[in-house]
A and B are shown apart, each in its own frame.
Chain A
Amino acid sequence: MAEERRQKLCSVILPTESMKAMAESVGVGSLQEDSCLALSEEVSYRIKEIAQDALKFMHHGKRRKLTTGDIDHALKLKNVEPLYGFQSQEFIPFRFASGGGRELHFYEEKEVDLSDIINTPLPRVPLDVSLKAHWLSIDGVQPAIPENPPPVPKEQQKTDSTEPLKAVKPGQEEEGSIQTKGQGASSAEVKGSSAKMVPLMRMKPRSTHELSVEQQLYYKEITEACVGSCEAKRAVCVCNKCYLFLFQVRVNVVQNNLALLIYLMRMVKALMDNPTLYLEKYLHELIPAVVTCIVSKQLCLRPDVDNHWALRDFAARLMAQSCKTFSTTTNNIQSRITKTFTKALLDDKTQWTTRYGCIAGLAELGHDVIKTLIIPRLSVEGARIKAVMDGPVVSNIDKIGADHVQSLLLKHCASVVAKTRPLPDMVDQYKVDYGYLGTMLCSHVVKARAQAAFQAQTVNRTTLTITQPRPTLSVSQSGLSTSSGSRAPSIIKVPSSLTLMSTRPGTPTQPSPPATKYIVMATSAGAASTHYLPTAPTAILHSAADYTYPAMRVKRKKSLTTMVEDLLCNRS
């Protein structure tokens, strides 16, 4: 410490060569060494003095950056004429030259033709200073609006999304803190929010959800409106639909009605593709529903036969799409989703179905996510799959699950490994690195490389334009044959994954802010939309099967199907 300080304080003086060079530039030819030394010491001292004064002006100008203007003012204090022409904004306009064993920095003065200046069009007039007000805090709580910084600082977001393993920890603290503080105690909450911005999210108590009579009626009304013939009514309902959505999914998850879930997911897709709808408001309803479809333990009555895997894949893709579209620094969807998935993935007791969903969900988020979160887990998962495959047959369901997980992992990882791993592909090396799955992965990687090479040859080398095929999903309730048949090749993944921090520049300086996209919500709604998110999926994740709903049957299955068709028609 002392050592550092001393270094910082040691007095630096200008080299005597500079003095000589400067003397020469003003026509003083031979300068004594002694006078050079004296001069340089004096000049260094004066420069330091001026710099110290300039610092004062910086402080009073409430800036962190010293400007040339500050130096000018400091010179003025010393009764020295300021230097003119150093008004450059950004960089120090010195040029470097060397020659004759001497090194020089000089200021380049260009000759400018006056007519050039006159003839150039005038630059745009800078915008005038303006004043804009927003709420930094309302009764001690900072609202999550674009004018305020994201509730979680950028660094934290980054660590959250890259290392969700660590992020699990604060979640546990959260539960503890809530137990002690209680939900209503505002002071405790404020304390928490001041100490850390994270624990703002309130864990929703795990409880049985009962649909009230009003909700049942509402549900009935909406469904009928959608199915019915009145066009105007239907338009109104589209938005309300989202509220309803969660109920439907919950109901169907409990009922294990795979067909309807698929329809519902397609409806979400349709809603999302519709550019005229502002879904931001309803994300907190939609996302838990979608996540449930990805990771629920059981989605159909006969998990050994039904192809619920396709539903999971589809929902995962849907999730990735909504992450891409809606994730901002304020709502932070993607990192929260990632966290949810990873948490489930790391849990040893997670069922194969859920595990499959998690991996699918993560994999759809892009290559970076695969690289950082899935590939390091390969060996662990491999061991687990091996245990099921080679071990005594416990149940057919487990085996099928493990099989699916294996193929999913191989499919997604192969392309990523092919890109990141240097040649050659040695089977042994793969085995060392990835364990049980190494052998198969190796062959997949080789295939992927060959395919990539093939594509590079056939397709134009400069640009590779691949229009993303709209994910389609055929409803096939029996047979495993179409497990991944309708999928788009995994190479054409959405490349955006970890860029969520920079997606929205968030500059309020823009004269025409992209505010139209935001729908400013009432505080309660805002709080709900942001706080509710991470909790619901996890709750569903862990205990989706535990939920008990009052038996509420959807009357006509046919009607729902038509409804979805209608929705799809609407957007075209």
Chain B
Amino acid sequence: MAAVQDGQMELDAEKETKPEILSDGTSNLSGNTASGTLSSSPLTAAPAGGAPKMEDQQTLIAVLQFLKRNKLTDSVEILRREAGLGEDQEDSQATDGSGGGKGDVDGGDANSLLSRVSITSAAAPQSVIIFHSIIFFYSYRFGKVGGADDQPDVSVVLSAYSQQGDPSLYQVYYSGLKNFIESVLDCHRAELSQLFYPLFVHMYLELVYNNHENEAKAFFEKFSGDQECYYQDDLRVLCGLTKKEHLKGNEVLLDFRTSRFVLRISRDSYQLLKRHLQERHNNQIWNIIQEHLYIDIFDGMPRSKSQIDSMSGSLAGEGKREVNKAKVFHGLLKEPEIEVPLDDEDDEAENEEGKPKKKKTKKDSLGSKSKKQDPNAPQQNRIPLPELKDSDKLDKIMYMKESTKRIRLGPENLPSICFYTFLNAYQGLTAVDFTDDSSLLAGGFADSTVRVWSVTPKKLRKVKSAADLNMIDKESDDVLERIMDEKTASESKILYGHSGPVYGVSFSPDRNYLLSSSEDGTVRLWSLLTFTCLVGYKGHNYPVWDTQFSPFGYYFVSGGHDRVARLWATDHYQPLRIFAGHLADVTCTRFHPNSNYVATGSTDRTIRLWDVLNGNCVRIFTGHKGPIHSLAFSPNGKFLASGSTDGRVLLWDIGHGLMIGELKGHTDTIYSLKFSRDGEILASGSMDNTVRLWNSMKAFDEVETDDFTATTGHIHLPDNSQELLLGTYHSKSTPVTHLHFTRRNLLLAAGAYNSQ
């Protein structure tokens, strides 16, 4: 562990610079597509593991040159050393790929379980993957955008605005377009209205950039009221921007610039628009559309206003259709076969329940279910998973026993809710987590502490000190019991270590570890045997909003203000993957039940699904109108639920990449979402002091997933929130911070009492 700590100290020194913008180009997604103008042709799939080695080498060299130019010699050294590049190669512009060979050797020390196996599973050579993460890492770390792909530089981005038009005519142009759009047929109007917001923003920014402050203000005054109400927050940022200098530091606006706003418009509507603009010789607007917008044209009927509204609202428009085409293995992994000691266990159960026959059959069915391979499941070893320990197997047996006693929930049979109220928390409770077996409860607090409670009669005990441990008989059967120090038994323990509010906590599945992420930029790993901090994972440098353990342990994911999510392994002090692409803070991170994917929600009002294997973004879900604060996968891995500050829960079909439901009812931010163990009920907890239960089964069943909707991505949502709402339970001025279903489907809720 000491070595790890040292390594971090070293790294720390270099991480001081703040990334001005994120290298979106390095995320395979938009970087490649940025070159395409107005093309409706399907994009080539993101360069997954199989990207040519050469290209990576070149990007790496470009990064190096960039660093050199900026006199960051130390970093050049480090990068070169880690990438295994010789100086000569770089000078000779790297015409051969021999560096990759070296990378194999040197990269070995940064090797992870993950990358080792990826050789076997993916066709990609090992070095490519390492290079990927290194580039992510470096390009992010040094803030400035490297020469990756065709990503424009900061100054380039801004200079795109430098074209001169008569500033006084902007209003005329805009209102001309507005009149046109308002006069077209109804079916086209809704689609073309999508243009208003991005055009408005770009025109305003152009005015600001060219120092036409007064014209910009007048323009804003005149047209800001026309924009859709869900863009309010962005408009508020925008209205503060009145000077060219402001543009430089504002991340939101830079994002708006670097990423093209994506609009989905039917071919007919688009032709209409094009004809109009050409007739009027309205080059100003045409240029903006050409340069700053990405219009995703589809054939077929134009979409209705409600269809458009349900999908729009994100910072950078809708996701491109092509993005959500990649195959996602959303099935569950095969349960490892565990020999259940049937004899004595069952005898016990028989005595308890008195219904032995029923139990037997149930168990059998459970076993057969897990043996059947889901066609959508990823390969068992697609990403390497830690081996099961004996204690894990015991836990699995416990789990199976418990699940036979599970209550079947449904609209007729609602769960009971047990509410854990934090008293005297003085508004300081920021995060809560339960262990899977519901025996422990952890709370993160604004005063930098993490507290762990035992919610069962079993008290929390520390392991004895090393000297005492030497004394015990290691051969005895109850050695695990003997190592615990009875004197330390208490109902709760406090973990000190962070230096800022703790925004995320997560228990490991085996209940031995606890993760916490904090405002201080670190993620800490705590041992629940010694109740001490084991590792501090540094890398985010900015507040880390959320962290979560993989359902199989070992890996964990974190997301923060630096707009990336990172995948870590507990035994590596550097991240294994960096998921870059969000345009604003990553507010929540969740693992898919099969651990092959990670979902992240962001302040840019999108949800992204990332492939853990290659770091690609495989889904972008747009439709929320506010920052996303909660995510939950359904237990079968097919669906995703997301909750945001706008008080709505949206349901997504991961396989088809579609929005399939909208649950309206909450009046404030939804901070927690959870599916029942069988996926029948979705529970949502909110700032409005309520827990609501939704009939998720019905919501999923009613989805029409015919080929048409799947290919076009046009959804038509039934407005049936009230039918799906099964219950609303008010708490006494206690916002609901966390929800958890026990293995028997009892719902546990937690929150801090707010005395005001």
* Chain A residues engaging chain B, CB cutoff 8 angstroms: 2-3, 5-6, 9-11, 41-42, 44-45, 48-49, 52, 56-57, 59-65, 69, 73, 77, 79, 126-140, 142, 147-149, 186-187, 190, 193-195, 506-509
Contacts and interface: CB of A to CB of B under 8 A. Distances in A.
Interface string B575-608: 0000000000101000000000000000100000
Interface in B526-551: 542-543, 545
B240 A73 contact: no
Contacts of A63: 427
Contacts, number: 178
A131 B441 contact: yes
Given A77-B561, A129-B428, 7 more contacts: A49-B249, A56-B603, A60-B503, A62-B687, A73-B543, A190-B726, A508-B732
B interface: dominant SS: mixed
B446 interface: yes
Interface stretch (B231-239, B398-406, B463-471): B231-239
B530 to A, nearest CB: 22
Nearest to A195: B722
A507 B755 contact: yes
A509 B755 contact: yes
Of A59, A126, A190, A508, chain B has the most CB atoms within 10 Å of the CB of: A59
Most buried by A among B229, B246, B669: B246
Nearest to A7: B225
**Chain A residues touching B, majority SS:** mixed
A128 B424 CA distance: 6
A187 B693 CA distance: 14
B713 interface: no
A11 B671 CA distance: 31
Contact of A194 (B221, B225, B669, B727): B727
Nearest to B751: A62
A149 B691 CA distance: 13
Interface string B516-528: 0001000000000
B666 to A, nearest CB: 13
B742 to A, nearest CB: 13
A509 B421 CA distance: 10
Contacts of A136: 417-419, 691, 729, 731, 749
A28 B629 CA distance: 47
B753 interface: yes
B180 to A, nearest CB: 20
Given A135-B416, A137-B729, A142-B729, A59 B645 contact: yes
A69 B446 contact: yes
A509 B224 CA distance: 46
B730 interface: yes
B717 to A, nearest CB: 21
Interface string B608-641: 0000000000000000000101000000000000
A60 B561 CA distance: 11
B703 interface: no
The 5 A-B residue pairs with the shortest CB-CB distance, nearest first, are A140-B414, A2-B225, A136-B417, A136-B419, A137-B417
15 contacts: A11-B217, A11-B239, A60-B501, A60-B545, A64-B687, A77-B542, A129-B443, A138-B416, A139-B413, A140-B726, A142-B730, A147-B732, A187-B411, A194-B726, A195-B722
B421 A147 contact: yes
Given A9-B224, A45-B240, A130 B423 contact: yes
A193 B417 contact: no
Interface in B686-713: 687, 691, 693
B420 interface: yes
Contacts of B737: 62
Interface residues on B, range: 35 or more
A506 B734 CA distance: 13
Contacts of A509: 423-424, 753, 755
Contacts of A65: 427
Contacts of B237: 52
A228 B84 CA distance: 103
A60 B240 contact: no
Given A62-B735, A194-B727, A130 B424 contact: yes
B417 A133 contact: no
B226 interface: yes
B111 interface: no
Contacts of A79: 18
A132 B421 contact: yes
B412 A186 contact: yes
A41 B412 contact: no
A522 B332 CA distance: 43
Contacts of B446: 61, 69
B753 A508 contact: yes
A62 B753 contact: no
A126 B424 contact: yes
Interface string B418-434: 11111111111110000
B697 to A, nearest CB: 14
Contact of B421 (A64, A73, A508): A508
Given A10-B221, A73-B500, A194-B726, A62 B671 contact: yes
A79 B15 CA distance: 13
A129 B419 contact: no
B728 interface: yes
Contact of A137 (B451, B687, B727): B727
B453 interface: yes
A147 B417 CA distance: 13
B383 interface: no
B680 to A, nearest CB: 13
B242 A132 contact: no
Contacts of B749: 136
B663 to A, nearest CB: 13
B669 A59 contact: yes
B455 interface: yes
Given A5-B225, A59-B645, A63-B427, A133 B420 contact: yes
B241 interface: yes
B445 interface: yes
Contacts of B422: 129-131
A133 B424 contact: no
Interface string B493-520: 0000000110100000000000000010
Contact of A129 (B249, B424, B671): B424
B240 A11 contact: yes
B672 to A, nearest CB: 10
A134 B422 CA distance: 11
A130 B519 CA distance: 24
B218 to A, nearest CB: 12
Nearest to A140: B414
B428 to A, nearest CB: 8
A136 to B, nearest CB: 4
B416 A139 contact: yes
A193 B727 contact: yes
B267 interface: no
Nearest to A60: B503
